[in-house]
Amino acid sequence: MHFHPGFLKSCLHIFILNLLIQVAIAQEPNDIRLSPADSIMVETLISRMTLDEKIGQLTLLASAWNSTGPAMNADYEQLIKTGKAGAVLNFYTVDKVRELQKLAVNGSRLGIPLLFGNDVIHGHRTIFPIPLGQAASWDLAAIENAQQIAAMEASAEGINWTYAPMVDIARDPRWGRVAEGAGEDTWLGCLIAKASVRGLQGENYKDGKHILACVKHFAAYGAATAGRDYNVVDISPVSLYENYLPPYKAAVDAGVASVMTSFNEINGVPSTANHWLLTDLLRKEWGFRGFVVTDWTSINEMVAHGVAADVKAAAGLALNAGVDMDMQGSAYLNHLEELLKENKVTQASIDEAVRRILTAKVRLGLFIDPYRFCNKQREQTEIMTKASQDFARKLVAESCVLLKNSNSTLPVSPGVKSIAVIGPLADSRKDMLGNWYSAGKWEQAVSLLEGFRNRYGKQTRIIFEKGCNLNDSSVSGIDAAVKAAREADFVILALGESGEMSGEAASRTNIDLPGMQYTLAEAVIKAGKPTAVVLFNGRPLAISRLNRIAPAILETWFGGTQAGNGITDVISGDVNPSGKITMSFPRNTGQIPVYYNVKNTGRPYSPDRPDEKYVSRYLDCPNTPLYPFGFGLSYTKFTYSGIQAGVKGNSITISAKVTNSGGRDGEEIVQLYIQDKVGSITRPLKELKGFKKLMIKKGESVNVSFTISREDLSFYHPDLMKYWEPGEFNAFIGGSSADVISASFKL
Ligand code: GLC
């Protein structure tokens, strides 16, 4: 390779400048800055790339292997060979990845290796509970470990980039994608975002067992009007900053390598064309140094949004807003050269986008070894290991939430001789994986029925009846189900949604049980045997009718590969449930949105004055949800007493005594909420500001103490400045947002 002397001189300048920068700034974990040598390599590469090759690096192509969007045909092999693709998605296995990487490295002129992306959302081959289920465990270490295993399995099959974590805050369960997130609370959402990024990326990717994370969908996709997917987001700046933006910022602060733009507009500007969002906020204010990728063809969709006359104009808007990579739209591929000639984009912005993507590839070590994620031995030994299955089974149990348990119906008493397992989800493996299950093989999942047979099969007769279908009007199976219930000592009703009724493009206007499942439940429960409903769903459901008649309800979400075993561990009492919901369950769809951190309004409804007319209420439904944020029962009982709050310097300490007054050891998620009683703007009645998950032995008491700072009480003001205000505060401690004891303090 022959270099022009002037070129070598400029390299030397870059080297010295970079050396000075590196010396000046300590390298933090996940530091995106390259070493001086790597910087020179990237700059040298950029200086040698043609415009075509640069635009190629900004292009992400999907395979038809597993289409996760409106697939647009692209001859990806030809494009890869000619250096017109920087990354591909939905390809995996060592052989396939090696084959495509060879096309790029050996086939193209400069041999720049590809990124291989995939939606590893809650596991790769070992599928864990859906994120809304994992959130219900409130176990940050477990969530991080699940992501760590997901990254290990994905990287063992050639994947080096995942489109996770999804951190969209959502208060509307009609929106099917609530399944992919952490629920309605911003503060908890931030902690889970950080844990997910840590698990996926590790300290850095040099070990080849961690992968690039991609926080999505930036931004506020969960605030889609009426819960209808892809719909308009119209939101006040204060609410955007206070409720929706923080989890993305948390992921950026955790060093996330990439950000995905959301399909939606925010107040008239689609995220993919939003210079304020992608450059002013993300890069200048938050200091994000990774790269920005669009969601699937969201550049092209700006024509439908009505902000671009054609895809060429949309491509210009996107690059100038700060989008580095175009997912599956080929908008950059087809239009950037022309836009550059017309001076509608600059060479500098193209080069900067290329630089960011090459930097990510350097950090993955792909220029040292493009095949470092193509290790056959790892593929054969690190996937679906027993350790991963054992951990998955534990996480299933920890994600379960006991919503109702009248007369201690659960756990099933050890002496039962026969159990009827009834319902359209009892024998389903596929639905156990939920949605976005990546390379998970549903044939390897454990159904609820199999879980029961594994746990009880030797000494107990297990009777199975489907009873009805998931979502049609047939009642032909109900008689046989009732007969089975009459024959059994205990009855399990496996009800809920299919795995595909939540996730993307899966909004519902009625979130009650689909089909004839309630009719089935009514008939079976009338048989009068001890009966527990096991609920499978990807969103909170409006199950007021079921709640009235079911003696016990265990929320299990979609537990993944080990669903049947983990759920049965709870049903049998081997594991005492400890989960707490992180998204409120409405009484009916008409009550939506219903969430815990509500404002008081000027005419608050008071249960002490139930007949008061002119207050903020409905004529036909209480204001409170069926099950509130932070709620979940145990097989034991926890009582709270002796709350105290004190201020010392910049610290506020709130403590209380928690007693396990029941008959068995159990874990309790002790929650701390704060109310700012008087502010310069209205403030929520409660805001989660702390939690501790504690094992408390039966009969024992523990003193739980939280210490927060004045800064923890700060909030965004109309001028978007964030600060706390002095005054009176209430502190609440309890096992749910609706069941607390309180104390006050003053700042
Ligand atoms: C989809 C989803 C996004 C996903 C991407 C790639 O449309 O919105 O969450 O990561 O396309 O599959």
Mutate to test the pocket of ligand 1, among 121, 504, 507 (most ligand atoms within 8 A of CB): 504
Say what the pLDDT of residue 573 is. 98
Nearest CA to 187 among 601, 743, 706? 706
Say what the pLDDT of residue 66 is. 63
Mutate to test the pocket of ligand 1, among 261, 272, 295, 326 (most ligand atoms within 8 A of CB): 295
How far is the C-alpha of 93 from the C-alpha of 86, rounded, in Å?
Answer: 19
- Neighbour order of strands in the sheet with 490-496: 401-405, 552-555, 531-536, 490-496, 418-422, 461-465
| CA-nearest residue, atom 3 of ligand 1 | 295
| CA-nearest residue, atom 10 of ligand 1 | 163
**CA 62 – ligand 1 centroid, Å:** 11
Res 160 pLDDT > 80? yes
pLDDT in tens, 199-236: 999 987 778 999 999 999 999 999 999 999 999 999 99
- Give the strand pairing for 638-648 and 651-660: antiparallel
Mean pLDDT over 278-301 rounds to 98
Structural element, H or E, at residue 155: helix 140-156
Say what the pLDDT of residue 207 is. 85
Say what the pLDDT of residue 75 is. 80
First to last CA, the chain: 68
Res 77 pLDDT > 90? no
Query: What type of residue sits at position 712?
Result: D
Cβ < 6 A, ligand 1 pocket: 68-69, 89, 119, 163, 216, 295-296, 504
Instruction: Return the residue matching tokens 């006040």.
Output: 236
**CA 440 – ligand 1 centroid, Å:** 17
pLDDT in tens, 88-109: 999 999 999 999 999 999 999 9
The pLDDT confidence band at residue 316, using thresholds 50, 70 and 90, is: very high
pTM of the predicted model, to two decimals? 0.95
Mean pLDDT over 375-402 rounds to 98
Query: Which domains are delineated in the chain?
Result: 5-379 (3.20.20.300), 386-591 (3.40.50.1700), 638-746 (2.60.40.10)
Say what the pLDDT of residue 203 is. 85
Nearest atom in ligand 1 to the alpha carbon of residue 68 is 12
Say what the pLDDT of residue 23 is. 44
Catalytic residue among 295, 324, 569, 676: 295
Q: What are the backbone angles phi and psi of residue 533, rounded to the nearest 5°?
A: -90, 130
Nearest atom in ligand 1 to the alpha carbon of residue 180 is 9
State what percent of residues in the chain have pLDDT above 70.
94
pLDDT in tens, 318-354: 999 999 999 999 999 999 999 999 999 999 999 999 9
Q: Which residues pair with 259 in a beta bridge?
A: 215, 292
Nearest CA to 55 among 355, 350, 367, 352? 350
**CA 308 – ligand 1 centroid, Å:** 22
Nearest atom in ligand 1 to the alpha carbon of residue 214 is 10
Q: Which residues pair with 688 in a beta bridge?
A: 673
pLDDT in tens, 559-603: 999 999 999 999 999 999 999 999 999 999 999 999 999 999 999
pLDDT in tens, 606-629: 999 999 999 999 999 999 999 999
The pLDDT confidence band at residue 457, using thresholds 50, 70 and 90, is: confident
Res 518 pLDDT > 60? yes
Nearest atom in ligand 1 to the alpha carbon of residue 216 is 9
Res 724 pLDDT > 50? yes
- Give the strand pairing for 258-261 and 214-218: parallel
295 catalytic? Reply is yes
Res 29 pLDDT > 50? no
- Torsion from C-alpha of 605, 607, 609, 614, nearest 10 degrees: 20
**CA 300 – ligand 1 centroid, Å:** 15
pLDDT in tens, 366-383: 999 999 999 999 999 999
Instruction: Return the residue matching tokens 């300490």.
Output: 653
- Torsion from C-alpha of 286, 287, 291, 296, nearest 10 degrees: 10
pLDDT in tens, 428-456: 999 999 999 989 999 999 999 999 999 99
Res 70 pLDDT > 70? no
